[in-house]
Every structure is written in C-alpha cells, then in structure tokens.
Structure 1
Amino acid sequence: MKKKLFWIAVGQFISACAYCQILNANDLVATGIGGLAAVVNRLTGMDVQMLLILMALPIFIWAFFSYNKKQIFYAGFSYLMFTFYVGIVNRYLPALHTDSIAAAVSGGLVGGIAGGIIMKQGVANGPESIVALYLKEKKGISVGTYYLIINTVVICSSIIFGNITMIIYSLICTFIMSAVTDKLIIGFEKYYNVSIMSDQYLEITQFIRDELNRGATFIQGMDTSNVKKKMLIQSVLNQQELIAIRDYVKSLQDDSFICASRSNSIIGRGFDVE
C-alpha cells in the first residue's frame, strides 16, 4: 500500500507540473475537472486550487454514500496530492511559455507519463474516475465513452474565448497524452497470437521451443481441401520472433500456413505486458 501511495504521489506531482507549467501557461485546456477549473479561472480570476476543491467536493460526498470506499480513498488521496502540488508548482516553479505545437506535444508527453504511472497502480485517480467506474458498473456505459464525452465538452467549452486554434491543440495534446499513457500501461513491446497449420508441426514446435525459447500448444485440425487431419500450432511471440518463425516456415517449402494477430494484453511468465 505504501508503495502504491508513493507512486500515486509521484505521478500527481508530474501531472501538476504538466497542468500548471505547460497547459495553463500556454492557454491549452486540460481534460476533466482540471480543464474545467482552468476555464472558470480565466473567466472569473478565481484561484485554480480553490476551484479544484469546490468542483470535486460534491462528487466525493456523493461517492462516499454511493460507491466503493476503497476506491474513494485512493481517488481522494490522488486528487488531494494533485491539488496540493498545483499550489506548490504555481507558487515556486516557473511557467514554461512556448509555441502551441511544442506545448501540445510536451504537455501530452509529460501528462501521459504521469497518467501511466498512476493508472499502473490500478486505482481511481480522481473524481472523474469514480464517476466513470460507477457508470460502467451500474449503467453499462464504457469508461472510454464517458471520458470521450466529458473531455470533449470540457475542451470545447473554451470556445467562449473565441480561439478555435487552442481547442485543436488541446485535442492534439489529449490524444498524445492518452497514447503515452496506454504505452506505459500496456508496454512498448508488440506481441502476436500466432497460429500455424503444417504437416511438419513437430519440427516447427521444436524450433519455437529451442530457438525462440517459447511454448506452443497443439490443437487438432483438418484441411478441408483434402479432408486430411493436421495439427494446429498456437504460440505467442514478439515481433522479432514472429519474423524468425515466418522465415523458418517459409524455408520448409510446403503448404504450411501462418496467421498472426496483434495481442494487446498478455499476463504470465516470460511476458512484460500486463
């Protein structure tokens, strides 16, 4: 638990830096309550830290009586760290003013790293996450759909400032942030589910085991062209291993058949994707 809280705190510090020093400093709109607070701040001049607290408080009160207490604890701690760091960063660290493209890219990268660190802990990272999980469990609304709607509304609300360009750059930043977060959670290595139909299944399996150091599974199949029984080999390989097995099967010069599909989540010994 202490390790999880530590990484949440680290992630939220990085997130606060991206929010204050890059996004707000360059008039880009963040997602969620943070983005809404920034929009209200520009309209009214109210303190961003106070706006973050006032906007989240009703959600946490509702969640306390309606949702999982453990998730509320982690979401509350995560959001508290973010709000606390926003005050620290705004007061003591300089804003990083730059052009809109650089701000969108750097804000997306830094914010995505922060999101990946927090999401890898498997907890709700703020009031928006609590609402997303509640709607998924109780109403059947997917988390992705919820975030797409709320983030689009928040970012597009900045149209009241009359700057369409900033909305476009904010959307680019959000896309980059989501992509980086996904990469940190899923991993950068690409893995493939590979199915091989061949008469020489023993030789291919030995190659997979000895040369690639991977396991394989046999499934009995049948070739409908000649109604002949064949053995289907299934294995999970990374990109380099897929190229190696493809070249090996080609060298057999028979009617062996390979089908490979990308796998986004692999859990188990010998794999890094979770």
Structure 2
Amino acid sequence: MTHELKNYTLITISIFIMAFGVYFFKFPNNFVFGGVTGFAVVVAQITPLSASVFSFIANTLLLVLGLICLGRSFALKTTYASMLLSILLLVFEHAYPMEQPLSNEPMLELIFAIALPAIGSAILFYIGASSGGTDVLAMIIKKYTHVKDIGIALFITDLLMIICACFVFDIKTALYSFVGLTVKSFMIDSIIENITLCKSIMIICDDPEPICKYITEGLNKGATIVDGKGAYTHSCKHIVFTTLTRRQAIVLRNHIHEHHLNAFISVSSTSEVFGNGFSNI
C-alpha cells in the first residue's frame, strides 16, 4: 500500500466515523460545539436550508481559502474529506431521517457527539488534512500565529458557534455545546499526542555493536554511542541513545532479552520527534 493510498484510506475511515457521530448524535440534539456542522445546526433553525445542504455550501467556500493559504496537497486531501463528509451526511439524511434524538439521555449522546468527530478530526490533522469548514481556519491560525496546538486553534474558531447557540437555542443546549467544544478541543490534542508518541531510549552496555546493528539494520533507525564510566565499578561502559516508535521499542527490548545482551535500559515517552525516519518532521 503506497503512502498516498494509506492516507486516503485513513481519511475515508475518519470521515465515516465523523459523519456517523455528527448526524446521529450532534444534529438531533442541536449540539453546536464547533465546525461548519455546528453552525449548520443554527442555520437550519433560522433558514429553510437543511443542516446537510448548508454544510456542503460552506465547506466548498472554505476549501478555496485552504487552497490559497495551506497549499495544494492539503487542499486535495481536504477536498476529498469535506466532499465525502457532505455526501455521507446527505446519504444518512435520506436513508434514515432523524426527527428526534436516538435516546432520552442527552449526556450520553453528548459523549458520542464529542468522541466520534474528535477521533476522526485527530487522524485527519495527523496526516495533514482536515474535514474542511472551520478546521481549515484552525489550521491557518496554527500556521500563521503562535498557537501551536490544533485543539486550542479549534476552540478559538468555534467559540462563535457557542455564542450563536445562546440566542437560537435554550441555555441548556448552549451549556452542553460549550462543554462539548471544550472537551473536543482537548481530546483532539490528546489523541494526536498519543498517535505521535515515541520512545526515547538510553541503553548502558558493555558491547554496543550487536544492539546498534539491530537498531540500524533491523529497525532502520539511527543511534548514538557515548563512552561512559560506572560510578560504582569504575568500569568502562557504552551508552546508546535512540528514539523509536512504541512498537519498535517493544521489539528492541524483546530482542535484547532474547539474545541475553547485558544491558541496562531506560525508556521515556516523547510526543515530538523531528528528523529522518519520523513522519512529523
């Protein structure tokens, strides 16, 4: 599977998850915690346009802005994602019309309305795409300002939706929406951080060659060797530093144990890695 095919497969899965959460949990409850789909709920209450039709129109206009400010690659991925989202919402609308919420538990539905779109959005942001709408504005803010967390940028762009909800719906709906926006913003950053999480590893050993050979040839990652000296034994030691994915860290640990390589291993988590061999350079 090529890199581009993998990206578009992830986009398709992410958008389906997002569309399911938006249509079946967000729209029926009038939750307005962000994005064009959130504003669409407001528009549907005060104009003849349905939420799905408004989402289609607004996403198309914002895609042009994304192409200008964020480049062709982002625009292509986002175009596919936003068009697919709009199409899925229209399909859901015709296949399963929603005249009322699925249940009488607004808090339970709020959880799904937050979690499903947040998971989809986090995956999209990770691969350099978005679902369109105010996500485009958030990525522009992230690129051109000092706001580096995409969740905070989303909170800034979507707060206007909550203010509108206060005037269009009752205060209870507005409060639910504010909770949803806040949790969604932090949840997206948390998911992205977990996706990008890597392991920074320090290995103290007598013979670094078999370990470094496995890291460079078996795991296709780099390593740095530093000479050291034991504080208690005063014997010469070698310290190997490397950074791996979580799966590779487990593989390396098992390799060292299985081959009885005498080594002391210290592993710490890191959420930002920049350099060859990592996708977020």
Matched, 1:17 2:20: yes
Q: Which residues of 2 match residues 207-246 of structure 1 at below 5 A?
A: 217-221=224-228, 231-236=238-243
2:117 corresponds, among 100, 105, 111, to 111
Letter in 1 for 2:206: Y
Q: 2:236 and 2:13 mapped to 1: Cα distance?
A: 57
Equivalent pair of 2:62/2:132 in contact (CA under 8 Å): no
TM value normalised by structure 2: 0.66
Give 2:41's aligned residue: 38
The residue that corresponds to 1:73 in the other structure is 76
Aligned match for 1:151, one of 153, 158, 161: 158
2:92 is the alignment partner of 1:89: yes
Aligned residues: 259
Deviation digits for residues 209-261 of structure 1, max 9, x if unmatched?
A: 89xx9886421357899x9975433244758689999x9xxxx9xxx987543
Q: Matched residues in 2 for 1:70 and 1:175: separation?
A: 25
Conserved? CA contact 2:202–2:267, under 8 Å? yes
Shift, 1:158, TM fit = 2.3
Provide the residue aligned with 1:182 in structure 2. Answer: 192
Q: CA deviation at 1:61?
A: 4.0
Tell me the amino acid that sits aligned with residue 110 of structure 1.
Answer: L
Alpha-carbon distance in structure 1 between the residues aligned to 2:73 and 2:226 = 43
Structure 1 partner of 2:131: 125
Structure 1 distance, partners of 2:165, 2:227, is 59
- The one-letter amino acid paired with 1:76 is T
Q: 1:219 to 1:103 in 2, by over 3 A?
A: same
SS at match of 2:226: strand
CA deviation vs aligned residue, 1:28-84 (integer Å, no higher than 9, x gap)? 224222112212323445311232234334433445555523432332232122112
Identity value in percent: 14
Matched, 1:100 2:110: no
Q: 1:195 aligns with which of 195, 202, 207?
A: 202
Match of 1:27 among 21, 27, 30: 30
Code of the residue aligned with 1:166 in structure 2: it is Y
- Counterpart selection for 1:261 from 264, 268, 272: 268
- The 1:127/1:221 distance shift into structure 2, 3 A limit, reads farther
CA distance in 1, matches of 2:279, 2:77: 25
CA contact (8 A) 1:33 1:55 kept: yes
Where does residue 181 of structure 2 map in the other structure?
A: 171
Q: Which runs of 5+ in 1 are unaligned?
A: none
The residue type equivalent to 1:201 in the other structure is D
Residue 8 to residue 136, structure 1, CA distance change in 2 (3 Å): same
- Which consecutive unaligned segments of at least 5 residues does structure 2 have? none
The 2-side partners of 1:242 and 1:70 are apart by: 35
Q: Which residue of 1 aligns with 2:171?
A: 162
CA RMSD of aligned residues (A): 4.6
Distance 2:193 2:148 in 1: 20
Amino acid at match of 2:102: H
**2:30 partner letter:** D
Structure 1 CA distance for aligned equivalents of residues 67 and 211 of structure 2: 56
The structural deviation recorded for 1:148 is 2.7
2:201·2:241 contact (CA, 8 Å) conserved in 1? Answer: yes
1:124 Cα deviation after fit: 3.8
Q: Aligned partner of 1:24: which letter?
A: F
